Structure 1
Amino acid sequence: MSNSIDKISKFKGKSVENNNIYIPKYLHKFVKYKLKRWVDSAFQARIMTEDDHFVLNIPKTDGQNNQKQKTIVVLDKDTGVEQYSARWSHGLAQFLELKYRRKLSVECLKAVFIANKAFFQRYKSCLYDLTGTLGSENSQSFISDLYYVKFADLSTSKKKCYNQLSNKVAFEYSDWLDLIAKESIKIGKKRPVLIVCENVGATDNIWNELIRNGVPPLTIEKYRSDGDNIEERFRKTPATTDPEVNKQGGLHVILNYPPENVRVEEQVFGRTARNGAVGTGQFILQVDKFVYEHMYELDQYPTDQRKLKVEELADIILERENINRDNKEAARLSELKQTSTLRLEVEELFEKFNEFKRKKAKNSISTVAR
């Protein structure tokens, strides 16, 4: 894909230079600087889908309450929160608007800003925070190096009574849906089950699978967006308040996608076993068939035996998935650290330049006054 991006960028650049695409002269340098990023955004927009990376919804920002036109709203995949004030940069938002035939917006170009890192570093040694999920060691190390902070673990007021059940994996999407439905129905006979999905599309598919397996729709509470007040409604359900639920083993949480980091995983399973109550959780994942069939030579087994073998290997496969995830996170944080350092250096240089200007202006005023 990178070769295609380079070729298209060069072709479009030549078109601008030859006036085949008219761009005012004073914008040529800007276009040349942004062109490769714009082309990359066009490729990204091709693979991004509704109800996964974003949703089409009526914006809730001030002054737009009466607007009936649905727009592209960024979706936080880790929390399911619709980020109405967030905008994708480098033309990505505009390409998605073209793809889904939305009203074309203007790309936001910020002339002056301060990065989060520079902002928080101004607090120096006066930065304190409390969180229930610190994340992985790599994540903690990254934050420590970035903001010069230390970490301390505080014990909970009540003993954690959480139990991780055996995990399950599937190669095919249909088998994955079937596993989730059957496990939910089996456990749901005695206690409530919370199924945490990666996106809205998966939520709808699992809903349909549960109904197809005979679960009455009225017994399923479906949350598709933050407009459903998920957190508020969930905290008030019997799943977290009824003592009888606790006697039966508490709320069971099924996480059906691999989260990007440990922090998100801990947040999801932290929905159960709260305030001394008991609870359980498990992964039910769809994994790469090609990778694991070859790794464990599963293609030599008949279909029924293969499924049993996959069930036996589920925890091992999950461990491999977690290792791969942690390695990717470490690489991402390393790259982010380098990028953040470079940005901070630019901001520091800009700050020094402004300080120099202020001193020069002050000296000039003093000279004139004399």
Structure 2
Amino acid sequence: MDKDTGIEQLTSHWSNGLHIFLQLKYCSFINDECLKAVFMSNMNFFKRYNNLRGMTGTIGDKEERELLTLEYDVDCFELPRFKKYRFKYEKMKEIVCSSEREWYEKLIEDVNEKMELKTNKMNNNNKEEINNNKIQLEERYKMLKLKIEKTTTQLNDEFQKKSSIDKRMKTFKEMKNTLLNRKIQNQEDYDDNDDYSHQNEICEININQVKNEFDDINETIIDLEESLNLYKIQESDLIKNIQNYELLLNTENSVDQRRAVLIICENIVKLEKISLQVRKEFQHKGNKIYTYDRAYRKFEKSQLNCGDIIIATNIAGRGTDLDIDKFLERNGGLHVILTYTPNNLRVEKQAFGRTARAGKRGTGIYIVYDERKSNNCIPNLTIDYLSDVRNENEKERVNQIVTKSFHKIKIEDELFGKFDVFKNELNKIIERKYLNLKENELKENYFELQIKSLQNKWAFWLNNMEEKLE
């Protein structure tokens, strides 16, 4: 378990016998020592393809893109958004705190601001926006109703065709049975006559033809039924959304006007501390508070509502789609508080990308604690300064990958290629030399075990060369 994020690392093992030692200590199943013997790096795997195409939500900064271009000879470009990006970063409120106490106070203060029950009415711009959205959904609903009617008609026509085919099939089968009964009853008359064979062949041809038509009709019916079910699901969603917009326009004063807040923490320890402070402040106020600290736990809510507070490690920033209802969208959407500066721009974008999705509104802010500000090492510490340092460190990390890691990976791939050729040659020699030996002259699987022993020696040698390769 990654102690920072709560992600289960099921395929990871401690090296140099530590993993096996712990398994012995806790009387659990013992795995073999993990050594690289047969492997292929991700880099070499992708390079085996003649054409590479990929898509990602967060490709990173300039350095990461240049790295991909350098190694894989690919270009990077940004695909334009289908809908307007409506995220707003609250630059004026960002802060680097000098103590944990100040940090908790600022976090609570920001959440409190988003949870205030406001009584002001919607302005004309908001009303116009909601009404325009409602009109667009109503137009989509009309078009969808036409699709449903057309598909239903097509489906009924196909069922009629199927019924007609059923009758034809029944007729041909009855003809075949009649021929068979006549042959049984008049065996002598049919012995030297080709009439039965000819008529039976015609029946078989007709039956097979009808079967093919029947299969085609069934495929068409299945496709139409799937389309109709999809249209009806879409219809149900559209009706619900139109009703929500009508409710927003007609009951503007009685609607809950709170926001929902997502607080993203650096690790589980900090999550538990922040969660304690947040629950102390908001539990009794009727807010629903959720923690998301283990990747294997399914997130409890499919849709966020007004007043919800989620406290999570950065696993909430990795592809988790936090849907919001129409009332929350009207109030400004989900507000994201990032409580630490991530190691790179890509993770930052993932975190703030939990809000303002698919053209919806949303806000975000940095509220971080850095002890260097408290002991006067850097008294005027700012988010911009932390971001600049982070970006420089990321550049250095990418440079290390290019100058060291890639070279190491390439050498390992080359060494494995040579060992693989040697092993295959050795197998051929063994087959030629000992092909004529009687089975009882050698123990079962003798050569197979010898090759595995050789492979183990190679793996241990490669493990011992680790430092030199680095």
TM over 0.5: yes
Counterpart AA for 2:325:
D
Q: Residue 269 of structure 1: CA displacement? A: 0.5
2:325 aligned partner? 242
Counterpart in the other structure of 2:410: 344
**Equivalent residue, structure 1, for 2:294:** 225
Aligned to 1:74, what secondary structure does the other structure show? coil
Whether the 8 Å contact between 1:192 and 1:251 is mirrored in structure 2 is yes
SS in 1 for 2:367: strand
Q: CA deviation at 1:345?
A: 2.4
For 1:351 and 1:278, the matched residues in 2 are separated by 53
Deviation at 1:264, TM superposition (A): 0.7
TM-score by length of 2: 0.51
Match of 1:284 in 2: 367
Structure 2 vs 1, CA of residues 213 and 94 (structure 1 numbering), >3 Å: closer, same or farther? farther
Contact 1:74 1:87 in 2 (8 A): no
Structure 2 matches for 1:93-104, cutoff 5 A?
Answer: none
Which residue type is aligned with residue 148 of structure 1?
A: D
Q: Are 1:134 and 2:52 an aligned pair?
A: no
Once the two structures are superposed, the pairs formed by residues 52-201 of structure 1 within 5 Å of their partners are: 73-74=1-2, 77=5, 80-90=6-16, 107-123=33-49, 125-166=50-91, 167-189=94-116, 190-201=258-269
Give how far 1:339 is off. Answer: 1.8
Q: Return the structure number with greater helix share.
A: 2
Distance 1:162 1:362, change over 3 A: same
Match of 2:273 among 205, 212, 216: 205
SS in 2 for 1:221: strand
Tell me, yes or no, if the aligned pair for 1:177 and 1:209 is still in contact at 8 Å.
Answer: yes
Shift of 1:355: 3.6
Give the counterpart letter for 1:83 in structure 2: Q
Moved over 6 A (4+): 359-368
- Closer/same/farther in 2, CA of residues 91 and 202 from structure 1, 3 Å limit: farther
Q: Does 1:354 align with 2:395?
A: no
Is 1:76–1:82's contact at 8 Å kept on the other side of the alignment?
Answer: no
Give the residue type in structure 2 aligned to 1:158.
K
Rounded to whole Å, the distance in 2 between the matches of 1:75 and 1:130 is: 30
Higher RCO (C-alpha 8 Å, min separation 6): 2
Tell me which residue corresponds to 1:324: 389
Q: Relative to 1, partners in 2 of residues 1:165 and 1:264: Cα closer, same or farther, differing over 3 Å?
A: same
Give the superposed CA RMSD: 3.2
Distance change (3 Å), C-alpha of 1:90 and 1:174: farther
Structure 2 residue identity aligned to 1:108: C
Kindly provide the CA deviation profile for residues 48-106 of structure 1, in whole angstroms up to 9, marking residues without a partner as x. xxxxxxxxxxxxxxxxxxxxxxxxx23573xx4322232343567579x59xx856866
Unpaired segments ≥5 residues, structure 2? 117-257, 307-322, 435-470
Matched residue SS, 1:114: coil
**Amino acid of the structure 1 residue aligned with 2:45:** F
Query: Is the 2:334–2:355 Cα contact (8 Å) retained in structure 1?
Result: yes
Deviation of residue 361 (structure 1)?
A: 7.4
Aligned-pair distance for 1:367?
Answer: 12
Matched, 1:272 2:343: no
Superposition map of 1:3-14 within 5 A: none
Partners of 1:102 and 1:257 in 2: CA distance: 36
Give the 3 Å change call, closer, same or farther, for CA 348–178 of structure 1 in structure 2: same
Number of residue equivalences: 271
**1:61 maps to which residue?**
none
- 1:323-357 per-residue CA deviation (whole Å, 9 max, x = no partner) reads 11111112122222222222212312431453466
List gaps (5 residues or longer) in structure 1.
1-72, 297-312
TM-score (norm 1): 0.64
* Cα distance change, pair 269–235 in 1 and its aligned pair in 2 (3 A): farther
| Preserved CA contact (<8 Å) 2:337 2:367 | yes
The range that moved more, 351-360 or 167-176, is: 351-360
Residue 164 of structure 1: CA displacement?
0.1
The equivalences for 1:291-306 within 5 A come to 293-296=376-379
Q: Which has the larger radius of gyration?
A: 2
Deviation at 1:152, TM superposition (A): 1.4
1:308-323 alignment to 2 at 5 Å?
317-323=382-388
Pair 1:74–1:91, CA change in 2 (3 A) = farther
Counterpart selection for 1:261 from 344, 351, 363: 344
Q: Is the 8 A contact 2:303 2:325 kept in 1?
A: no
2-side partners of 1:209 and 1:192: how far apart? 17
- Measured in 2, the distance between the counterparts of 1:157 and 1:272 equals 16
